[in-house]
């Protein structure tokens, strides 16, 4: 079973890149299930139309992160659609769901979406205890499990990868928009990468025009951030999983460039 996870899709350039590349990549890598992080589809947040665009491009499930509610029109969509996931360790009264069980090649695939707590000002619940709770409560209802940890600290993501080693087939990180060079299979069989990277403008600072980001760090007065133009890239990883054992055999990073 090949599971493809795509890093944060940023603004219109990211959506256009996903639309142009995703279906071809799925064929090339014989992908059985695709997860796309869409929380930056509007720059910060996602609208229902943008979620529909991501599904139309070939995603099976959309995950979100700390910008989940920046576009308030997404709130009814989160309750109505079981294929879009907000962080499971957000406050329980918030709209949406943080995990789901989906069919993949006749197997029951549990996808859970967690958010880290390091430097996340809104104070989510403990993601490690939340993962324990989901796996315990859903025991016997799924065959394979995949976990996304949307976090700023590499240490928190690495710790989650080891914490769930042998309990999930794959654990991967999002949020920092920079693909890491540590794709691997952990000792007990869990595929892991600290960050998938992003899908959007290549010559940018996390998708934003470099000049604007430089101005912010210099302390200059700045305008609202604009997505950079030019060449784009799709970043992610393919997890090759032995469905009979639940162990990952290989993790292959993807970095596909598209001329601007």
pTM confidence score? 0.95
Average predicted confidence (pLDDT) for the chain: 95
pLDDT at 139 over 70: yes
- pLDDT tens, 201-246? 999 999 889 998 999 888 987 777 888 889 999 999 999 999 999 9
Mean pLDDT within 39-50: 96
Q: What is the dihedral of CA 119, 51, 114, 92, to 10 degrees?
A: 100
Q: Cβ distance 251 to 193 under 8 Å?
A: yes
Domain ranges of the chain: 2-258
- pLDDT tens, 114-132? 999 887 766 789 999 999 9
Whose tokens are 């869990």? That residue is: 190
pLDDT at 138 over 70: yes
Q: What pLDDT does residue 21 have?
A: 97
Q: What residues form the annotated binding site?
A: 8, 39-40, 66, 150, 175, 177
Q: E strands, 38-160, where?
A: 61-63, 84-85, 99-104, 107-115, 144-150
Burial profile 205-215: b = 16 or more Cβ within 10 angstroms, e = fewer: bbbbbeebbee
Q: Is the dihedral of CA 169, 74, 80, 68 positive or negative?
A: positive
Q: What residues form the annotated binding site for Fe cation?
A: 8, 39-40, 66, 150, 175, 177
Q: What pLDDT does residue 260 have?
A: 58
Confirm or reject CATH 3.30.70.3420 for domain 2-258, answering yes or no: no
**Catalytic annotation on 29?**
no
C-alpha span between 156 and 154 (Å, rounded): 5
- pLDDT tens, 3-32? 999 999 999 999 999 999 999 999 999 999
Q: What pLDDT does residue 43 have?
A: 92
Q: Active site residue: 26, 67, 71, 86, which one? A: 67
Q: What pLDDT does residue 225 have?
A: 83
Q: What pLDDT does residue 224 have?
A: 78
């Amino acid at each position: 079973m090949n599971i493809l996870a795509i890093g944060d899709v940023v603004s219109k350039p990211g959506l256009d890149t996903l639309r142009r590349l995703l279906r071809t990549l799925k064929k090339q890598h014989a992908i059985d299930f695709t997860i796309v992080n869409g929380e930056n589809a509007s720059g910060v947040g996602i609208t229902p139309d943008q979620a529909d665009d991501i599904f139309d491009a070939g995603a099976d499930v959309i995950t979100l992160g700390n910008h989940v509610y920046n576009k308030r029109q997404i709130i009814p969509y989160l309750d109505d659609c079981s294929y879009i996931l907000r962080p499971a360790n957000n406050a329980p009264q918030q709209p949406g769901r943080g995990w789901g069980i989906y069919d993949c090649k006749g197997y029951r695939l549990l996808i859970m979406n967690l958010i880290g707590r390091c430097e996340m000002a809104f104070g989510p619940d403990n993601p490690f205890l939340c993962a324990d709770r989901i796996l315990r409560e859903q025991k016997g209802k799924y065959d394979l499990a995949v976990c996304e940890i949307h976090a700023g600290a590499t240490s928190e993501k690495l710790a989650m990868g080891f914490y769930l080693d042998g309990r999930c087939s794959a654990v991967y990180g999002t949020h920092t928009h920079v693909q890491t060079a540590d794709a691997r299979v952990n000792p007990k069989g869990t595929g892991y990468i600290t960050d998938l990277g992003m899908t959007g403008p290549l010559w940018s600072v996390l998708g934003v025009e470099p000049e604007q980001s430089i101005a912010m760090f210099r302390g200059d007065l700045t305008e609202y951030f604009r997505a950079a133009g030019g060449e784009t890239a799709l970043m992610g990883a393919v997890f090759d999983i032995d469905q009979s054992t639940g162990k990952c055999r290989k993790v292959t990073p993807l970095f596909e460039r598209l001329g601007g």
